[in-house]
Amino acid sequence: MNNIISKTNILSWTLIILWMAIIFFFSHQPATESSELSTGITEKIAVIIQEIIPETKPNQVNLNFIIRKGAHFGIYLVLGILVANGLYNGNKSKLNITILALLICVLYAISDELHQVFVPGRSGEVRDVLIDSAGSLVGILLINVIRK
């Protein structure tokens, strides 16, 4: 049984580290690359919206802002799920898992924003840490509900 738990735990934490590496990769993109990516996604979503609701012309600036901040929320929601799941492989209480998972995610969000200060054209924003933290909390709570 310990062997199964050990392999599951290794897989869980490997996925966490991989997801953190993906976050780091996107955060390490200079502002021009990051902007091109989000603008491209925004344009595609705007076309889809116009196909669904032809009389609508989405405001590209507002839509791009929503997509960028939504990406922060979603990426950290996944991180919250992964971290909480990894912690469930131990003998901790649900409250302790929630607090520890949130602490790990918030500290990573802070480190991510600090990292962006050193990337050309990027900046670290407290607002993004708050959005990331909210996404993480939702992911952690989802795992709590699923594991109930």
Q: How many residues does the chain have?
A: 148
pLDDT digits (tens, 9 = 90+) for 9-49: 889 999 999 999 999 999 999 888 888 888 889 889 888 88
Residue 90: predicted pLDDT: 64
145, 116, 117, 110: which is closest to 131 by C-alpha?
Answer: 110
pLDDT score of 4 more than 60: no
Neighbours of 148 (CB within 10 A): 6
